[in-house]
Amino acid sequence: MTVRIKLLGPLRVEHGDEVVTPSQPKLRQLLGLLAINAGTVVRTETITDELWGSEPCVKLARIVQTYVSQLRKLLGSSTSDSYVLSHTPRVGYVLHVGSAAYLDVDDFLRLRDRAERELAAEETEPAADTLLAGVRLCRGEVLADVSLGPVLRAHKSRLDTTRVAVLDRYLRTRLELGNAEAVLAEADRVVREDTRHEELYANLMRAFAAVGQRAEATDLFHDLRKKRVRESGLEPGQAVRAAFQQVISEEPAGMAAPSRSATVAAEVPAQIPPDNVAFRGFGAQLDGAATALTRARRVRPATLAVVGAPGVGTSTFCVHLANRTGEAFPDGQLYADLATAAPAEVLGGFIHAFRPDLSIPDNMHQRVRLFRKLTAGKRVLVVLDNVREGVDVAALQPGSPAGGMLLGCSSRMSEEVITSVVELPKLGGGELYELLSSGIGRGRVAREPEAARSLVAWCSGLPLVAALIVALARLRPHWSLARLLHKVTSTDSLVELPTGSLDLVASVQRSTRALCSGEWAALVDLERHHPGPGSISVDWTARTLDISAPAAESLLERLVEIRLADPVPPGRNMPQASYRYRIDPLYLRAVRHLAARAAPTGSPMYLAAVAPTAS
């Protein structure tokens, strides 16, 4: 007989036609934790952290064993085609879902993926039906009636985000098909959601307008506005305001077959990537940057440059700041990565974001004029990541002093348009320890404090490296922190770990693109002969590279400029010539990997400064 576990709403366990959901809070909590991680080992320290907020001990381990025994009886058959709750000694427990068992989360995610494939193939009608099947599986917020500890809370947040995204995609797909009535059929489901999910309310407002119920759409906006102000003191964001403008316009979008140009003209670009919920640190820098970016200006847009060393989190900081200040720029938020696109291409994308119906001029100057015309009088935020010296930042500025510009840089810029600069320092040990604890699990960290402190030290103050460690720890929940430390400190860890976007080598490579070929060759040689931990002097560099002292100083100062080296001031009563420089060992390791691939190209501007002297 099929046992069904449902997490998308209040916890519900069904054995055939009988509801057998456990009533004991801790047992429900453990079942939710195992089910939401079905197929994956949940470590014992993760379980105790979730249930009691403490590390494992003999007493708690016995209680967990008792709970697991009760869950096995609850789930019934132990055959391979049903649920199997197995134990890995000294590691944890895993819930296997057999062919005769049912877990609503698995079914939901399969439907979501199927709908994405159908949409990609332009099979819009079947995709809408698939999305509706996924929506129907959701009975409310994930584990709505289960007590949540830190681990389950994070899983719930992730799944609730996916659940809302599927509902939003369904509503938008139905609107694109001209079926506003299907959207209105989900009105009760929408208004039960948190008011921060503004896209849902915006779609519902458009549906009301599409069937001629503009008064209902207007009432929805004002009711939502009152609730938002009461709950958070904030006005509705750009998505709801844009939908409201459509509703009150003479020809609101969504009314019987609008033209393509009429629809897109009312769109408000929202290109900022999603915020990183695990973001930590830089509180003072964030406050100062938010003030500098949103301060009212009458002459030109506020242009803030955020400067940080590779791996310090400049990109993440900019995305977090853009999401935090987004409501100050209700007319649009634009984003581009200059590591992958040229300014002319970026401008074309920005213009298309505002007016897809317009043809993009071939001439760069014409693109600049058109973009400024489209953004004139508007509060638009432009976020540019991986900005380096030589990029014409002014050409990408919005056309209104009320707008803003946020630049993520690996070195200081000499652009006159920059109005403020925020320097990101490396994080302290306490902040990195907190980042690791929240990502890996406090119980797991507390169990091996020495290994945890060694991991923090190895991070060298770089949040990206800490994120790399967290990613590996989550992929290998059965590893001890000591084994994890051994892995990440091994020679090839920077290139072998499956880190995705958490790539320190790529971050260092972006910085070295500012170097000319001679500087790069000198840096590679410097890495090859570097004496190890500690700092190096100008004299040592000159002797090692066989170049003059001025050339050595020029090279080291250039590395400081692109944030690959840190100056170490001379001690008291020591001459300025005693200045020393420290290059982080992780950066040196990244340089070694890059050198094994291919040297970056650059302008020969500094070639003479670092050319080897004649013997």
Sign of CA dihedral 140, 143, 146, 151: negative
pLDDT, mean of residues 259-271: 56
* pLDDT higher than 80, residue 414: no
Which of 17-21, 61-65, 580-584 is predicted most confidently?
61-65
Residue 557 vs residue 411, higher pLDDT = 557
Tokens of 324: 């935090």
* pLDDT higher than 60, residue 426: yes
Which of 50-59, 158-167, 436-445, 550-559 is least confident? Answer: 436-445
pLDDT (tens digit per residue) in 58-84 = 899 999 999 999 999 888 754 556 788
Q: How far is the C-alpha of 381 from the C-alpha of 379, rounded, in Å?
A: 7
Tokens of 486: 């051994």
Phi then psi for residue 96, to 5 deg, are -95, 135
* pLDDT higher than 90, residue 562: no
pLDDT of residue 108: 95
pLDDT, mean of residues 372-401: 88
Helix (H, G, I), strand (E, B) or coil at 188: helix
| Mean pLDDT taken over the chain | 83
Q: How far is the C-alpha of 463 from the C-alpha of 559, rounded, in Å?
A: 21
pLDDT of residue 2: 78
Which of 278-287, 421-430, 501-510 is least confident? Answer: 501-510
Q: How does DSSP classify residue 573?
A: T
The H or E element that residue 19 is part of is strand 18-19
pLDDT of residue 606: 36
pLDDT, mean of residues 326-345: 88
Q: How far is the C-alpha of 217 from the C-alpha of 145, rounded, in Å?
A: 32
Which of 5-14, 84-93, 473-482 is predicted most confidently?
5-14
CATH 1.10.10.10 fits 1-175, yes or no: yes
Phi then psi for residue 93, to 5 deg, are -130, 150
* pLDDT higher than 70, residue 573: no
* pLDDT higher than 80, residue 235: no
Helix residue ranges per DSSP H, 515-603: 517-529, 538-545, 549-561, 585-597
Q: How confident is the model at residue 574 (pLDDT cuts 50, 70, 90)?
A: low
pLDDT, mean of residues 552-560: 90
Which of 59-68, 311-320, 384-393, 605-614 is predicted most confidently?
59-68
Beta carbons of 138 and 9 less than 8 angstroms apart: yes
The H or E element that residue 222 is part of is helix 214-232
* pLDDT higher than 80, residue 415: no
pLDDT (tens digit per residue) in 467-517 = 888 878 877 888 888 988 888 777 554 444 444 334 678 888 888 888 888
pLDDT of residue 52: 93
pLDDT (tens digit per residue) in 120-145 = 898 999 999 999 999 999 999 999 99
- Three-state SS string across 93-112, please? EEEEECCCEEEHHHHHHHHH
pLDDT, mean of residues 521-539: 88
- The pLDDT > 70 percentage for the chain reads 88
Q: How far is the C-alpha of 216 from the C-alpha of 208, rounded, in Å?
A: 7
* pLDDT higher than 50, residue 88: yes
Q: How confident is the model at residue 257 (pLDDT cuts 50, 70, 90)?
A: very low
* pLDDT higher than 60, residue 258: no
Q: How does DSSP classify residue 402?
A: T
Which of 336, 317, 316, 331 lies closest to 404, judged by CA? 331
pLDDT, mean of residues 420-430: 87
Which of 3, 2, 33, 4 lies closest to 137, judged by CA? 4
Which of 84-88, 202-206, 539-543, 610-614 is least confident? Answer: 610-614
Tokens of 507: 């971050």
CATH 3.40.50.2300 fits 515-610, yes or no: no
Q: How far is the C-alpha of 545 from the C-alpha of 537, rounded, in Å?
A: 12
Domain boundaries, the chain: 1-175, 178-267, 285-419, 429-504, 515-610
pLDDT (tens digit per residue) in 181-233 = 999 999 989 988 888 888 999 999 999 888 888 888 888 888 888 887 777 77
Q: Which amino acid is at 251?
A: E
Which of 174-183, 446-455, 476-485, 597-606 is least confident? Answer: 597-606
Phi-psi domain of 415 (left: phi exceeds 0; alpha: psi -120 through 50; beta: other): beta
- The pLDDT > 90 percentage for the chain reads 34
pLDDT of residue 298: 56
Helix (H, G, I), strand (E, B) or coil at 333: strand
Q: How far is the C-alpha of 206 from the C-alpha of 183, rounded, in Å?
A: 9
Domains 1-175 and 515-610 in one fold: yes
Which of 102-106, 150-154, 344-348, 387-391 is least confident? Answer: 387-391
Going by C-beta distance under 8 Å and a sequence separation of 6 or more, which residues neighbour residue 437? Answer: 445, 452
Considering the domain 285-419, what is its CATH architecture? 3-Layer(aba) Sandwich (3.40)
pLDDT of residue 216: 85
pLDDT of residue 502: 46
Q: How far is the C-alpha of 65 from the C-alpha of 144, rounded, in Å?
A: 25
pLDDT of residue 262: 39
pLDDT, mean of residues 142-163: 92
